[in-house]
Every structure is written in structure tokens, then in C-alpha cells.
Amino acid sequence: MSQEVEKYCTVLINHEKGVPPTSEELAKKLENKKDSIKAEALEELILLMINGESYPKLLMTIIRFVVTCNDHRVKKLLQIYWEIVDKCKEGTNDLKEEMILVCNALRNDLMHANEYVCGSTLRLLCKMKYYRILEPLKEAVLRNLGHRHSYVRRNAVMCVFSIVKHFGVEVLPEAPEDIEQLLLVEGDLSTKRNAFLMLLNCDQDRAIKYVLSLQDQVSSMGDIFQLSVLELVRKVCRSSTVNKGRFLRIVFDLASSSSTAVSYDCASSLVTLSSSPVAIHQAAQVYVQLLTEQSDNNVKLIVLDRLREVQKHHKQVMEGMVMDIFRALTCPSLDVRKKVMDICLGSLVSQRNIKDVVALLKKEVIKTLGYEATSTEGNLEYRRLLIRALHACTGQYPEQAQNVMFLLMDFLTESDQTTATEVVMFLRELIANYPDLRMPILQRLSECISEVSQSRVLRGCLWLFGEFCEEASLIESVIEGILAAIRPLPLVAEESTSSKEKKESNSDAKKETKAPKITTKTVVLADGTYGTQNVIEKAEGDEEEVTHDKPEVKKTPFRTLLLGGDFLLSAMVGVALTRLSMKVSSLAVATKNEVLLVIVNLLKLARQHNCGGESCDSAVRLTQCIRALSAGQASGLSEGQQAATKLVMGDWQSGRNRNQLAKVLELATQNSEWAMGQQEEVEEKSVPPEECIVFRQLRERKGNAASGGAMDDDDDFSMAKGSSLAGQAAADGALFAERLAKVQQMTGLADPVYVEAFLQVHSFDLVLELLIVNRTNETLQNVVVELSTQGDLKLVDRPTAVTLAAGQQMTVYASIKVASTETGIIFGYVTYEKKSAADKECSVLNELHVDILDYIERSWIGELAFRTMWSEFEWENKVNINTSINDVGKYLEHIMRNTNMSIVGRSYKKGAQKDPKKKGKLSAEDVQEMLKEAVGIKKLIDTSSFVAVNLYAKSIFGEDALANISIEKLQDGRLTGSCRIRSRTQGIALSLGDRITIVQRGVQTPNGRQS
């Protein structure tokens, strides 16, 4: 590929060239008199040159036979050819002699009568980077500033701007004045915008003078010109505060523009340039207007990000706009709704607006119950989000809980376990923290417990009954509600059979019954004659069938779960009824006996079940409950049994459970998505005492250098100390070491062509950098690296063919598209030609495995969300632990560091706040800090021989990866157990499992090898 195409060409077109034609063949077509044949030949020549072919001999042919053509297609192709052709002699910076003729042709096109030819030539000159070509054309370019057609004037302004920008205003000293005069009289909006941009970048004082002279008319100009004015305002206000007030007035006027781009830019400018509450309020209003009026979800998400930034620094201004931002909840996108909640809930919710916020959330919850909403995609997730939001709001402001708690309690009977669990967690917090609300909540729970169908929700309700019911009347109604949900008694295992089995058993029983008996009798008829009568007698089983065919008793979900073998729920029922019965001494004897009968029935079911038995946990717990109920009576308990019973009863009455619940609630508050009324921490920049203080007003401004973004940097002072160069050298050294560790050898050192590969991940793209070295003493031609992929990888750009002299090396690139998180393989071969050989030769490349760790980002999640996803995800991969590591903590650190997975639970929130943008590899220090913060896991590692840990990570494609690692340390010191990985898709589950299998065998040493 030519040097011109590599450095300056703006055209990139892929072309499967096959066998390229010779220069003579193309020259013959170019010399043809027909314009269509010339255009086809010129187009083919351009495509070949862009893709690496060189035809230096055709330059003169084109000047002789093509330049004089007036066909517009040929003219346009010719301009592309002028852009890509080599203009300098090979190996030097001297222009070719033919360029004089090219300049003459360009000058003629600049003076052409057709405005399209003239304007497109000016566009071409904007891309020219050779002053010796542009110098003789300056006069013609300036003359076109007064052309009759706006298309030519517009491109003439940009051509002048390009020349001044690249070669300095000295080459066209009269350009700023000419552009200013054009700006004053120009009527075309695009030309005026281009002229203003040129003054903005080349003569800022003239641009300022022009804007201030038309201060009141800017709001009536077009949106593209207004955007240029806003760019000037941002540049000027950063460097000088002289006219800042007048410029901000212009921004305020433009904020109400009908153009969404202008209003968005105005809001961004106000936030950047001013901290005044009036300016921030105006900017926030513009953002909210865009949020509610724009239908594009991408626009909404961008605006919400800007509002998030405003909220961090201007909480007081944003407080009054919470309800306006909540209007965006009408958008059906769950991502938009989640971001709205993240902004509005938390620090913006206060005593002044909590009532309105709760009322709006309550209204949205009611909307999700409508007939149309239930069929909408994402309605269930939105309802969960609203319930969590109400939980967060009313948890801090209990006076609002009474407005929503009974509405939310209707969701306890939902078939969706996550929704019902969210509600019972919300009620648990209210009952624990606010005693005044206990009585009505528990009373309502006792009334609806028979309709609850989720075992986990039932267990939570029963625990609340046993722990917080104190009044005798409440306890009696709760016991009656539980018993009513379990009746009729007794509970027998046969009732758990399905109705189908019952029907089959009934049909079998009918077949076994005897056939009806038929007898013949002689009877006297009405006329006195004799006759015979057949009498059918019923079988013995018929009467029993009639008597026993009673309507089946309707079972509650509660009773169905108990009969279905839910031992954990059975134990919770026994404990709750026992604790309630022991709290009231005046409880009726019949009720006590019925409670005892229920517990005995549950114990019998647990013992008879296939998965139960005498020693199962549920049976042991129910036995303790029976002993506790009969402890006060004359019973045959041994001394050991009586002591154990007193110990259990003492634990129930100690209040330890409430203390543990308080700790759990405190932990949940810390890990909550939204912390009500708390100011979000803003990262503060700390400056060491020896650092230089920079006063922008005293800083020297040379030309346009001061208009850059480095206004607050003390580069000169740093360079004087040498710290800048040292820091840059250290950074370069670290980057080189990192790249060197990832370089992989693709061929052997003894091969004629040596190839090294460096694979770099850019989001969804892989860039493969290949270093090709000619190890022979001959010139190798058409050296091509042919690549293929396996897995969800697609080769986009293939490496180009190169020619290598003896000992020469060259770098080529290939682009690969990634479709999913799956381990992929890149393989192929390198071909080359020798002058001494008739056929091509090739060398096979080593396989290059794409590491899944490049797709995995560190992420954090709460325990409830983890459990929900764990139950929903269907793909699971189980990997047995087989490692030489003998320490549980080291093994866990090793797996976390090599999979980028974080511990689920308490440590995730702190890590996210500390460095929300850090998505690189987990270091050993990060892993040790996580384990240190997870006190319970750390204690288990130190004291127990069995540890179970939940881990979480997320891919760059948004895929969730869950892992449960169960480790047991045997007596001989070896580790055993399993790693279970779950995900929504198969690829990430299998790839992570393969990754764990590879890395678990040993700890990696600093040089990357395993010990």
C-alpha cells in the first residue's frame, strides 16, 4: 500500500481484486474515447490502489486522456484518484514533476462554470496536505468566496479554514477579514456556520465581536449556527470571564430553543460554566423536558446520565424536580425506569416530598394490576422494582407505611415468589422497627395466610407470628387462622395423592364389585291374569359407594405444601404454634389439644416420608416442640430431655432472635439500592502541599493554545521537576510489560517466516496484531497470513499481503467480531513466494485461544437478586474440585482472581462505590479486601472444615454468571467439593467451567506459570 494511502487517504473500500490487471490493460481503457469506459477503468484503478496495488506509470496517462473529460462521474472519480495517488517521489519529500500539470487541472476546475465541479474540487483541496500544491491555488480559492452559488461558497470557506489550520494564518493573512465580511452579508445558513467556525478557531476576537453584535438575534438563527455559538461560549468562558455574563445570557435565551440538540447543548454548557442555582435549575428543566418529550429510549438514557451528574453536585436544586423526573416512568423500557428510580430515590427524597413520591409509586403499582398491563412485557419486573422502591421509601418514613402496607400485602398471594418475598421482607422490617404497626400487620397476615402459596413466604410469616405476637387476643386469632388453614385434621399422607390416582382407584374398585343379581317373580296383573317380572337387586358395594361418595374438601395451598413433604415449613409451623401457645396461659384446652394434634401429625408425616425419617431435622425440631408443650404437665420426660426443653424455651424467651434480626436489617440497609435522605459521596480531589498552584487569570496565552482543555494543569512545573518524564517512562514500561506477557508465538524461530501475535480486546471487537519477520536471506513476496476462527468469532478485516526484504519485519492487523462470551480459537497459516521457487510455500500457525477472562468484568450483586437469578437460570455446569492447593482461603482467592468473580452480599456495595468504573482484572489485594470485609466467610475459612461461597460476575455482553463454590477440607489436608456455575446461556457456563478446570490445579507464580 502506498505511503499516501496510509497517511492521508480518507477513502477505505474493500475490493476482492483477484488477479489484478496490468498497467497496459488499464491504460488502454483510459485512452478510450467513451466516457463510460474511462469511468469504469478509473474506478477499477482506484479500488486496486486503495487495496495495495501500485500503478505509478498511469499518472501521466490520466493527465493526458482523463483530465480533459467533462463527465461528472469521471470528474468525481478523478478527485478520488488525486487524493490517493503518490504525489512525492519514492523515498523523498519532493513533489513529482507531473504535479505541476495536476495543479493546473485543479485550477481549471476551481474556475469551472459548473458549481458542482467547482465545489467538489474545493472539498478535495480540504484534504490536501501539501502546501506546494495549494500555493498556486490560493487566489482561485479566495475568489470563490464570492461565488454566486452557496454550495461553492460553503466549500470555499472550509477550504480556507483547512489551509489556515494546517499551515498557519500567515499563508493567507487576509483570510480572517475576508471571512468576516462574508459572514456579515451571507444569507445561507450552512455557509454562515462554516465561516463562523473558521473565525472561532483562527481569530477568536473577531468571532466574539460578531456574536456580541448580534446578541439579541442569535435565538432566531438556525440550529447549526446556534451550536457553533455555544461552542464559542464554552471556549471563551473557560479562558476569560470578561464577557461571561453576556454569553450566559445568550445560553439562557437558547435553552428554550425548539431544536433538541441546541437545548441539550445549552443545558450541558450551563452545568459546565456556572454553579449558580438559577443556571442549574434552568439546565435541569431542559433535561427534564427532553426526558419527557423524546420518545427514543437512547435519548432518555443519555439525559438521565446527565441528570445523575447534576444530582451529585446540586442536590438542593434537584429536590424540587423529583416529581417531574418521575413522569419518565411512563416509558415502557425497564432500563429507563430503573435509572429514574436510581436518580429520584435516595438523597433526593426528603420529608417535604416523601408523601407525593409514595402516592405516585402506589399509583404505578395499581397500574401494573390492570388487564392491559398484565400482558405487557416486563410488567412483572417493573412491579418488583416498584415494591422495592416503596420498601426503601417507607422504611425510612414509617408514617407513609400505613398508606401502602395493606396494598402490598395483597401481593403475598402472588404466584411470583420474588414479588411475595419482597413484600414479606418489607413487612418484617416494619414490624421489627415500628411497634405501633405490629398489631394491624400481624392481624391482616393471620387472615390471609391460608391463601399464601409460597413456602418461603409462609415461613417468614410464621416466624413473625412466633416472635412478635404479644397480646392474648392477637395470639388467639393468629392460632385460629393457622389452624383454619391446616384443617381438616388429621393430616394423613394418603391425602397427598393426586386426584387422578383417586379416580383410577375408584374405577378399579368398581370393577371389583359384584355384578347386580336379577330375579324373576310371578305377579298378578290388573286384569286378574298372571305375568312375570324381572327384579334387579343392587350389589353390596353400591350402598357403600353411595354413602362414601362425599364432596372432596377444598385444600388450602398451606395444607398442600405440608402434605407434599415440605419439612422446613412443617418445622416452622410447629415452632410458631408452640411459641404462641406458651405465651398465653389462658388458652383454651381444646385449642392446645388441637395444636398438639397438628404437631404430632406433622411429626408422623416427616417420619413416614421417603426423604424424612427419625433423625431428619424436621422430626427433631417437632419433637422438641411436643416436649415443650407437655413440659408443664405430668409427663414421662427424662432429666436430659427436660434440660434440653428448658434450653430451647430459654432461647425462645431470650430475645436473641430480635437482636440478630436488627443486625440483618442494618446490613440490608447498607446494601440497599437506595439510601433515603443520605447525601451521595462526591469524589474529592486532594492536592499535595508541594504541588504548584495555577492561577488561570495570570497564565500566559499564546495564540489558540490557551483554548485547549489543559487549563488547570501545571505541566511546566512538572517538567521542570522531571516528574512528568519519569511518570511517562514508568507508564510506558508497565504497558510494554503487559503487552509482552500477552504476546504469543505462532511459528518457530527456524521457520522462514516468523510470526508473533498480540490479541487486544476492544469491547465487542478483537484486534489481532501480527508481527511478521523474514528469517531468510531472500526477498519474500505476497506474504499473507490466512486466518480462520472457531466459535462465536467472525473475521472482519483480513491481514493484507506484504513483501519482505531479507531480514525485514512488518506488522499487519486483523479485526475480529465477538458475538458472545464463549472461548474461541483462531488458527491458520502463512503463505509466501520466493523468486527461486515456482510454487507458493506455507507454514501452519499455532492455535490462538481467546481468553474468556477478557470478556468478564468485575461486578457486584445483592443476595436476594442472586437467589432469584439462581432459581431462574436453567444452564448449570458442575466442576469437581481437583487442586494441589491445601488452604481454603488461598484456593478461593485463586479462583476469584482468575475468573474476575466477586463475593455476593455485604462487600459488593462498598466496592461499587469505591471504584464504580473499575472493570479490569481483580488483583490479589482486591480479593483479600473482599474476604476481609465478608466477616462470616472469613470466620468459616479460619475455623471450619466446610465453606460455601456465592460468587458473581458479568460479561461485556450483559450476561450474568453465578457460581457456588462448596469446599470441604479432608483430614489429610486435601480439598474436595464442587463449583456449580449457572447462567442464562450455555456458552458462558461452559466457558467459565473450562476456565476453572484449567486454573484450579495450582497457584500461579509471578511469571504466569503454575506451581
Is residue 529 predicted with pLDDT exceeding 60?
no
Q: Which residue bears the cell 437469578? A: 869
In whole angstroms, give the CA distance from residue 130 to residue 574: 91
Least confidently predicted of 445-459, 636-650, 708-722: 708-722
Over residues 287-301, the mean pLDDT reads 91
Angle at 146 between CA 145 and CA 150, to 5 degrees: 80
Read off the pLDDT band of 911 (50, 70, 90): very low
Higher pLDDT: 915 or 364? It is: 364
Indicate the pLDDT class of residue 432, thresholds 50, 70 and 90: confident
Q: How confident is the model at residue 549 (pLDDT cuts 50, 70, 90)?
A: very low
Question: Three-class SS of residue 166?
Answer: helix
583-611 CB burial, b ≥16 within 10 A, e <16: bbeebeeebeebbbebbbbbbbbbbebee
pLDDT top residue among 451 and 554: 451
Contacts of 333 (CB under 8 A, 6+ apart): 297, 300
Q: Which residue has the higher pLDDT, 308 or 667?
A: 308
Closest CA to 826 of 768, 771, 782: 768
Q: Which of 527-541, 566-580, 839-853, 861-875 has the highest mean pLDDT?
A: 566-580
| pLDDT exceeds 70 at position 24 | yes
pLDDT for residue 547 is more than 90: no
pLDDT at 121: 92
pLDDT in the model for residue 33: 87
pLDDT of residue 916: 43
- Residue 277: CB atoms within 10 A of its CB come to 11
Tell me the pLDDT tens digit for each residue of 49-59.
887 778 888 88
Q: Is the pLDDT of residue 158 over 90?
A: yes
DSSP 696: G
- Please tell me which of 228-242, 660-674, 969-983 the model is most confident about, judged by mean pLDDT: 969-983
Taking alpha carbons only, the member of 370, 437, 366 closest to residue 407 is 366
* 919-974 pLDDT per residue, tens: 556 677 777 777 777 777 777 787 888 888 899 988 877 788 899 999 998 888 88
Tell me which of 1006 and 430 has the higher pLDDT.
Answer: 430
What is the pLDDT confidence band of residue 216, given thresholds at 50, 70 and 90? confident
d(CA 442, CA 993): 46
505 — pLDDT class (breaks 50, 70, 90): low
Cα separations in angstroms, 752 against 745, 756, 800, 833: 14, 13, 19, 11
Answer whether 349's CB lies under 8 Å from 322's CB.
Answer: yes
> Is the model more confident about 497 or about 801?
801
CB of 756 within 8 A of CB of 743?
yes
What residues have CB less than 8 Å from 969, skipping those under 6 apart? 888, 945, 946, 975
Judge residue 99's burial from the number of C-beta atoms within 10 Å of its C-beta, 0-12 exposed, 13-18 middle, 19 or more buried: buried
Question: Which grid cell is 992?
Answer: 467459565
pLDDT of residue 865: 79
Q: How far apart are CA 131 and CA 165, in angstroms?
A: 12
pLDDT of residue 671: 62
Is 864 a residue whose pLDDT tops 90?
Answer: no
Break the chain down into helix, strand, coil percent, rounded to 5: 55, 10, 30
* Residue 582 pLDDT: 84
Q: What is the pLDDT of residue 761?
A: 75
Give yes or no for residue 914 having a pLDDT over 80: no
Mean pLDDT over 880-902 rounds to: 87
Alpha-carbon span 273 to 255, nearest angstrom: 14
How do strand 848-849 and strand 960-969 relate by DSSP bridges?
Answer: unpaired
What residue type is assigned to position 775 of the chain?
R
Handedness of CA 24, 27, 31, 34 (dihedral sign): positive
Of the ranges 445-459, 723-737, 959-973, which one carries the lowest mean pLDDT score? 723-737
For the stretch 507-516, contacts whose Cβ atoms lie closer than 8 Å and that sit 24 or more positions apart, written own/partner, are 509/541, 509/545, 510/541, 510/545, 512/541, 513/539, 513/540, 513/541, 513/542, 513/545, 514/539, 514/540, 514/541, 515/539
Judged on CB neighbours under 10 Å (0-12, 13-18, 19+), 935 is exposed
* Rounded Cα distance, 230 and 222, in Å: 13
Residue 62, pLDDT > 80, answer: yes
- Taking only the tens place, the pLDDT of each residue in 87-146 is 888 767 788 888 889 899 999 999 988 899 999 999 999 988 888 888 899 999 999 998
The tens digit of pLDDT for each residue in 789-804 reads: 887 788 888 888 888 8
How many other C-beta atoms lie within 10 A of the C-beta of residue 810? 15
Helix (H) or strand (E) holding 24: helix 23-30
> Mean pLDDT score of the chain, rounded to an integer?
80
Residue 410: per-residue pLDDT = 84
Q: What is the pLDDT of residue 391?
A: 84
Q: Rounded distance, CA 64 to CA 51, Å?
A: 25
Q: Which residue has the higher pLDDT, 918 or 643?
A: 643
Count the Cβ atoms, other than its own, within 10 Å of residue 964. Answer: 18
User: What is the reported pLDDT for 670?
Assistant: 67
Q: Judge contact between 879 and 996, C-beta under 8 A.
A: yes
Give the model's confidence band at 304: pLDDT under 50 very low, under 70 low, under 90 confident, else very high: very high
pLDDT at site 821: 67
Of the candidates 111, 208, 116, 103, the one whose C-alpha atom is nearest the C-alpha of residue 154 is 116
Residue 47 is predicted with a pLDDT of: 87
pLDDT band at 9 (very low <50, low <70, confident <90, very high): low
Q: Would you place residue 1005 in the very low, low, confident or very high pLDDT band (cuts 50, 70, 90)?
A: very low
Q: Give 93's DSSP letter.
A: S
Q: Is 294 left (phi over 0), alpha (psi -120 to 50) or beta?
A: beta
Strand, coil or helix: what is 814? Answer: strand
How far is CA 612 from its chain centroid? Answer: 44
For residues 225 and 231, give the distance between their C-alpha atoms in angstroms, rounded to a whole number: 10
| Cα-based distances in Å from 415 to 28, 228, 406, 914 | 80, 57, 18, 38
Contacts of 438 (CB under 8 A, 6+ apart): 431, 468
What distances in angstroms separate CA 769 from CA 475, 738, 739, 797, 824, one per listed residue?
74, 15, 11, 12, 17
Cα maximum dimension of the chain: 146
Q: Check whether 520 has a pLDDT greater than 80.
A: no
Q: Grid coordinates standing for 73?
A: 462521474
Q: Render pLDDT for 190-214 as a digit per residue (tens, 0 to 9).
A: 999 999 999 888 888 888 888 888 8
Omega into 20 within 30° of 0, i.e. cis?
no
pLDDT (mean) for 984-988: 82
414 Cβ contact list (under 8 Å, min separation 6): 420, 454
458 pLDDT higher than 50: yes
The pLDDT confidence band at residue 263, using thresholds 50, 70 and 90, is very high
Tell me, what's the pLDDT at 118? 92
Phi, psi of 93 (to 5 degrees): -105, 10
Query: How distant, in Å, are the alpha carbons of 254, 478, 482, 486, 787 from that of 555?
Result: 68, 19, 13, 8, 66
- DSSP category for residue 353: T
